[in-house]
Copies of this chain bind each other. A is one copy, B any other.
Amino acid sequence: MARRIGLLGCGRIGRVHAASIAANPRAELAVAYDPFEAAAGEVAAQHGGVAATDARVVLDDDSIDAVVIASPTPTHVELLTQAVRAGKAVLCEKPIDLDLARVDACAAELAGAEAGVMIGFNRRFDPSIRQVQERVAAGEIGRLEQLTIISRDPAPPPLSYVRESGGLFRDMTIHDFDLARFFLGEVVEVTATGANLVDPAIGEAGDIDSAVVVLRGREGALASITNSRRATYGYDQRVEAFGSDATLSVVNQRPTSVLYSDAGVTDVAAPYLNFFLDRYAAAYAAELDHLLDRMDDGAAPSPAFADGRAALVLADAALESLRTGRTVKVPA
């Protein structure tokens, strides 16, 4: 029997989840909720289930086994809390919230029940990244000494989004903070530098668009994260795990394997997969499978609520480092 899933939020990322649910034989879309009727209706029409403009249609329906929270960040905590109380499995998009105090209050209120909430750090489910992490964890490269993450978006989001985003670190780098933790375990120190180079309007909105953040893991490894809000050549998603014995990398991916050569250039490759919908399509599917597996076996999902919180702590530490020009110790 397919698990009945309620989707909370039918924007861009909500549609990704709707498609994953529809394509997974173990799941079916029961309700597509969005305050905008058109959005909810469109998703239901395309991927199944009924449309709703009231989240209670999902939360109050006992036949719904799980919810995917893909609504705007400020609504996450409220929906997550209610869904946990309603006894549903939860997959919540990152970040849990922009305010650490609110995250902690949520955990206090749920009194441990939040441990079962899965956070949508999709990169952990990318087949290439996951394979590298598993091989590193298995000791294949010896001791992990340096982790180099390069993560650049093809183009900046709209300014209206930037203003509500919580800033580069909480919005974009948070994926890389989680990725660093995926490889390093806990991070003890954050040193951040940033700049406004891509678009002056982003600076005027009080944010940066370019950054290099250095992390120190508890075992001593150094990780660097290089971010930009814009890469003309496409979505740039690279990871290199440098070890005492060997090195494993994930390089960029392309939709075709066509090469071109002429009198001026050789072996010109196709453009990269352009953005997360394409680059992480398999990851979104695997992420949902993980949720379904955990619902089946009752074990705790990973990444979990605590991972969502930890990434936010690193984002806050990076912001503090950026403001003060100092390396910041991460509270245990």
| Contacting pair B244 A198 (CB below 8 A) | yes
| Contacting pair B226 A148 (CB below 8 A) | yes
| Residue in B23, B222, B257 whose CB lies within 8 Å of A250 | B257
Give the CA-CA distance A220 to B268 in the complex, in Å: 27
Give the CA-CA distance A250 to B244 in the complex, in Å: 24
| Contacting pair B263 A128 (CB below 8 A) | no
| Contacting pair A269 B271 (CB below 8 A) | no
8 Å CB contacts to B: which residues of A208-237?
Answer: 210-212, 214, 216, 220-222, 224, 226, 228, 230-234
A234 contact set on B, CB distance < 8 A: 266
Say yes or no: is A81 at the interface (Cβ < 8 Å to chain B).
no
| Contacting pair B244 A261 (CB below 8 A) | no
| Contacting pair A197 B220 (CB below 8 A) | yes
| Contacting pair B271 A197 (CB below 8 A) | no
Say yes or no: is A138 at the interface (Cβ < 8 Å to chain B).
no
| Contacting pair A210 B226 (CB below 8 A) | no
| Contacting pair A256 B128 (CB below 8 A) | yes
| Contacting pair B232 A145 (CB below 8 A) | no
| Contacting pair B150 A263 (CB below 8 A) | no
Shortest CB distance A114–B (Å): 33
| Contacting pair A258 B128 (CB below 8 A) | yes
Give the CA-CA distance A149 to B274 in the complex, in Å: 25
Other 13 A-B pairs with CB < 8 A, given A145-B197, A198-B244, A232-B245: A127-B256, A145-B228, A191-B191, A195-B222, A211-B222, A224-B224, A246-B260, A247-B260, A248-B260, A264-B271, A265-B271, A325-B327, A326-B327
Can you spell out 15 A-B residue pairs with CB atoms less than 8 angstroms apart?
A128-B258, A131-B256, A146-B228, A152-B242, A195-B220, A197-B244, A232-B244, A232-B262, A233-B246, A233-B262, A246-B261, A248-B260, A249-B260, A266-B269, A326-B327
Residues of A at the B interface (CB closer than 8 Å) are 23, 127-128, 131-132, 143, 145-146, 148, 150, 152, 189, 191, 193-195, 197-198, 210-212, 214, 216, 220-222, 224, 226, 228, 230-234, 242, 244-272, 325-327
